[in-house]
Amino acid sequence: MKEDTFGRQQKKYALVDCNSFYASCEKVFRPDLEHRPVVVLSNNDGCVVAGSKEAKKLGLKMGTPFFKVKNVIHKHQVAVFSSNYALYASLSKRVMSILKQYAHSIEVYSIDEAFLDLTQTEGTEEIGQIIKDRVMKETGIPVAIGIAPTKTLAKLANHVAKKDDRFDGVCEFTSYEENKQFIAHWPVDELWGVGRQHTKSLHTFNIRTIGSFMDLPEGKIKSQWHTPVWRIFKELQGIRIHSFVAQVPKKKGIGTARSFSKPLSDWNRLKEIVAGFAAMVAEKLRKQNCCTKRISVFVSTDKYREQNPYYGSKSIRLDIPTDDTATLIKTLMPLLKDIYRKGHNYRKAGIYVMDLCPNYSRQLSLETSCTSKYLTRRSSLLSTIDQLNNKMGKNTIVFATQRIAHRNAFDMKQEHKSANFTTYIDDFLSVR
């Protein structure tokens, strides 16, 4: 087994990245869109957040307001979709379940990419091709795979696999020196971990490409840009710095915030929306087996349109940590009432829970009726609600304070939303 310069076993990491993931998801159940440009919009259909390769060739950039590109979209018959997060999460889960079958361990990096540990695998390029073909066959999602001894190199190999047709979607690197003909000319901000500030700083020294960055003396990098940039330098040399995180660390805080499609001034509607947020956050707490000790809520108007813009927030520390939806709602309502100001048109609201602790170690109080027996019963009830909502569809069972009529936490503008082909039984495709 090969060793690196520190005498450690040399690893092989594969970065599997779904190509234009949101747009690809929309194409899975629409074969008529195979060669058409596709864009996906942000919440409330505000901006372009994803696009197919055909859309990118038209110059449709991510983050561009939708109204600014309507002429281009109409001219080139671009298919437009509102964000369908339930569909994307479902297809992501299918992709990840396939990847887990080929690796000793997996680090899910985001909804559309994951690192695989292929250290014990022989013929990694061939395995990469098998993975790529199987994911496409079973999910309809195209992927590119970059393989290398470090995560930073695997990222670059993945970019090459996407852009260079000679690699057929799978590229393996060993080190910068051996593979620099493919990446030396690339802009330095293509490097994983080099953000806007580091790019600006490197440009002041006329370091504009990956090649010019790697020509720098190691001592210069460490003294001028310190450890973060030095780590990138070492990883490009094929020396592993970033560790593999197979188990995602638990969140230290959980929040939910949304902008409304239309300004909102009615207290009852605002109350229902915030109650819906509480239910979403409570479910996330239970999913990672945590309770919260502190909760906060905020509301705000549109600062660009409101004559007297307003932002209000309030938080409270709980006597007993909780993951109970009913407790969170009951705690939030007085806070929301305190910051609500009649006459304002609210455009955004949200809640945030922090000071999280494991649900098995929460400290109870002798002064309340919240006993271990009571918590066990509540936990069983809430677990049943979560299971039914997961099985039958989101918001199948809700608390009375939430909206009953529409089963939605808030009205989001989604004029171009596709069907929930994989998560809602009435939207399942039928073959005749």
Dihedrals φ, ψ of 370, to 5°? -80, 80
Domain that holds residue 358: 254-402
C-alpha distances in angstroms, 343 versus 266, 267, 273?
A: 9, 10, 18
pLDDT of the residue at 301: 92
Any idea which residue has 């802009």 for tokens?
187
92/60 same-domain check: yes
Helix, coil or strand: residue 359: helix
Element (H, E) at 352: strand 346-358
Q: Report the distance separating Cα 187 and Cα 394, nearest Å.
A: 44
47/144 same-domain check: yes
Number of H helices, E strands in the chain: 14, 12
Token pair of 151, please?
């995560």
pLDDT of the residue at 6: 61
Q: Report the distance separating Cα 17 and Cα 143, nearest Å.
A: 5
In a domain, residue 430? The reply is: no
Strand partners for 108 = 114
- What CATH number has the domain bearing residue 117? 3.30.70.270
Beta strands in 302-364 (DSSP E): 311-322, 346-358
150/7 same-domain check: yes
Beta strands in 150-253 (DSSP E): 170-172
pLDDT tens-place values along the chain, 432 residues long: 566 666 667 789 999 999 999 999 999 999 999 999 999 998 888 899 999 999 999 999 988 999 999 999 999 999 999 999 989 999 999 999 999 999 889 999 999 999 999 988 889 999 999 999 999 999 999 999 999 999 999 999 999 999 988 999 999 999 999 999 999 999 999 999 898 899 999 999 999 999 999 999 998 998 888 888 999 999 999 889 888 887 666 778 999 998 887 888 899 989 999 999 999 999 999 999 999 999 999 999 987 776 788 999 999 999 889 999 999 999 999 999 999 999 899 989 999 999 998 887 776 665 566 677 778 888 899 899 889 888 877 778 888 888 654 444 456 678 888 888 887 667 777 776
* Distance, C-alpha 124 to centroid of its chain: 28
- For the chain, the domain total comes to 3
Strand partners for 38 = 79
* CA triple 12-16-21, angle to 5 deg: 170
144/263 same-domain check: no
